[in-house]
Chains A and B, each alone.
Chain A
Amino acid sequence: QKEVEQNSGPLSVPEGAIASLNCTYSDRGSQSFFWYRQYSGKSPELIMSIYSNGDKEDGRFTAQLNKASQYVSLLIRDSQPSDSATYLCAVNTYYGNNRLAFGKGNQVVVIP
């Protein structure tokens, strides 16, 4: 089993809708979880971090963490064309000096 999995294919959502992204991880000892956004041709940038079970909201973004089920999700409310990007889930695996394991990413396309 891969450390971090993002299985959904490209996600197309109409402008104004909610985009929902999911991520599962294999290391039960993981404590830190991150979502990065990557525009085409650019480097990833951190948009959300979450450390405890439950929801964390930041503007139009909500991260949800469920450690018992080992998944973390990202909701983008009122999706805008500027949200069109690839979203990478990253998990601190807590071995080897706090290296992050990344999922392969999910592409989101917001249709005007």
Chain B
Amino acid sequence: DVKVTQSSRYLVKRTGEKVFLECVQDMDHENMFWYRQDPGLGLRLIYFSYDVKMKEKGDIPEGYSVSREKKERFSLILESASTNQTSMYLCASSLRGEKLFFGSGTQLSVL
């Protein structure tokens, strides 16, 4: 089975902090994605990557950056956390962009 692991299940940070969310997949998938999910707004794509060191902006990239130095790892960075970035963050991976396999999510609270 594909395993997508997110480093933290719950995270509490202060406004202005730099936040790193880590995601690791063990199936050699080319594509990796970061989504955030908010009530009433559904899943929104922040960034995705289709290869090492490659990245593409999704629908809501503002305030975020990403890093993919190795194929199995995709990091989401909040440069200066703000309260409106309080959300559930979901990492996903796929082979050739088809079926997505999701991690268990990180509930981030920015105070």
Using a CB–CB distance below 8 Å, which chain A residues touch chain B?
32, 34, 36, 42-46, 49, 88, 90, 92, 96-100, 102-105
Contact = CB atoms under 8 A, between A and B. Distances in A.
B99 A104 contact: no
B102 A45 contact: yes
A43 B41 CA distance: 15
Contacts of B14: none
Nearest to B97: A98
Interface string B78-111: 0000000000001000101111111111000000
B52 interface: no
Contacts of A92: 97-98
B92 to A, nearest CB: 8
Given A104-B40, A105-B42, A98 B31 contact: yes
Contact of B100 (A42, A100, A103, A104): A100
Given A96-B56, A105-B42, A44 B102 contact: yes
